[in-house]
Amino acid sequence: MLFPKRVKYRKAQRGRMKGLAVSGSTVCFGEYGLKAIEPAWLKNNQIETVRVILTRRLRRGGKLWIRIFPDKPITKKPAETRMGKGKGDVDKWVAVIRRGMVLFEMGGVPEDYARESFRLISYKFPFKTMFVVRKR
């Protein structure tokens, strides 16, 4: 699973997901990309699942770039615990996805193959996505 080796602060506040992605909104490395249309949190196991699917499909050739990393800790208190007594322990790590952010990129494969691959993984996400092609 993906998570940072070390962090400056152990626990983080929830924050906001409104607005467009400031950076990371264009296809930079590959030829094709998968762009988020809605904001959401993407868990580290969801990213890992998608990585496994795409690397299996790219056995024939091609290259994959993962443009996101789960660097935000999400805490959770144990079940049936009374209120108070501080914030809970870190439960999972998420990547904050804003509208317009490119999540994955692919290169070295035909467009229809990349489109089909991204269609398969789009079902794994809790938000809508869009296939984008690099501007020439």
Q: What is the pLDDT of residue 81?
A: 94
Q: What is the pLDDT of residue 100?
A: 96
- Judge whether 20 lies within some domain: no
Helices (H) and strands (E) in the chain, counts: 2, 7
Q: What CATH number does the domain containing 51 carry?
A: 3.90.1170.10
Alpha helices per DSSP H over the chain:
44-57, 111-122
Block residue for tokens 């509208």:
99
d(CA 135, CA 2): 30
pLDDT in tens, the chain (136 residues): 889 999 999 999 999 989 999 899 999 999 999 999 999 999 999 999 999 999 999 987 899 999 999 999 999 999 999 999 999 999 999 999 999 999 999 999 999 999 999 999 999 999 999 999 998 7
- Judge whether 69 lies within some domain: yes
- Judge whether 84 lies within some domain: no
Q: What is the pLDDT of residue 68?
A: 95
Q: Tell me the pLDDT tens digit for each residue of 115-125.
A: 999 999 999 99
- Judge whether 123 lies within some domain: yes
**Residue in 66, 59, 27 with CA at minimum distance from that of residue 44:** 66
Quote the number of domains for the chain: 1
Q: Tell me the pLDDT tens digit for each residue of 15-30.
A: 998 999 989 999 999 9
Q: Residue 121 burial by CB count (10 A; 0-12/13-18/19+): exposed, middle or buried? A: buried
- Judge whether 46 lies within some domain: yes
Domain boundaries, position 121: 32-75+90-133
Q: What is the pLDDT of residue 78?
A: 94
**Residue in 62, 30, 64, 61 with CA at minimum distance from that of residue 47:** 64
Average pLDDT of the residues of the chain? 94
